Structure 1
Amino acid sequence: MISSTDSSPSLRPDRVRLVVLMAPKPGLSFAEFDRYWLDVHAKVFSSIAIVKRNLLKYEQFHLDPRYDESIAAQSLARSKSRFRGIAIFEATSLDKIFEIFQDEEYLRVVVPDEHNFFDHENAQILAGPFATIIDL
């Protein structure tokens, strides 16, 4: 489905997204980071009760190093990013997402698992509403 061209795009008032620019734990290879995040951590995170209650969507965007040369050749980026992926959380409100990060089970189960692959100190977090312009 493509958004209607009859009207201007608008930000969704019923949902918000929080994105985390993911940096690998120092000493971890890209392949180790990538596999752990997808194969292990995704299951740990999505198993938590509050995640099932509060999130509408959780996505992982994984950078593919095979595209680095093509991107550099197009002059789309001047420098390589330390970020190797983006975690995308979607809910009805930012408070619903923050409730997850403050939950006792999340702190007890998920945070220790994050320390296996994720560098909290070098992550960046962004949040806001979004508009879908094209969705096929």
Structure 2
Amino acid sequence: MHVIDKVAWLHLHQGKVLSTRSHGKNRYYFPGGKREPGETDAQTLIREIREELTVELEPGSLRYIGTFEAQAHGHAAGVLVRMICYAARYEGVLQPAAEIAEVVWLTYQHRPQVSPVDQLIFDWLQAQGQLAD
């Protein structure tokens, strides 16, 4: 079994969660990405968010939310993605950069439009009362 290790930023505002769509993709994904060799979760997340959304996460505000695992979207059966999720404050203006085509705010009704691991996170956020219907 192969596991893709990713770190993601969960940013909620008024019952909606920030999500992104990459160029050429038909699903939304939480912003973040894969770590470079030797990077910590915090270093990975700060670098990825700067590259994808042009904002700076405040390192001191990073708060671990949880780890979620599911079948990796667009990969062979048995390839899993493990998403280590953090919340954090940021400075700057959110805008798509690098491979990101679109930045959106989603509610629970958008669940079918996100990847399988993000669907697990949507369910968890909904159960916590943090995500609007």
Regarding TM over 0.5, the answer is no
More strand by percentage: 2
Determine which structure has more spread, i.e. the larger CA radius of gyration.
1
TM-score by length of 1: 0.28
More helix by percentage: 1
- Higher RCO structure (Cα 8 Å, ≥6 apart): 1
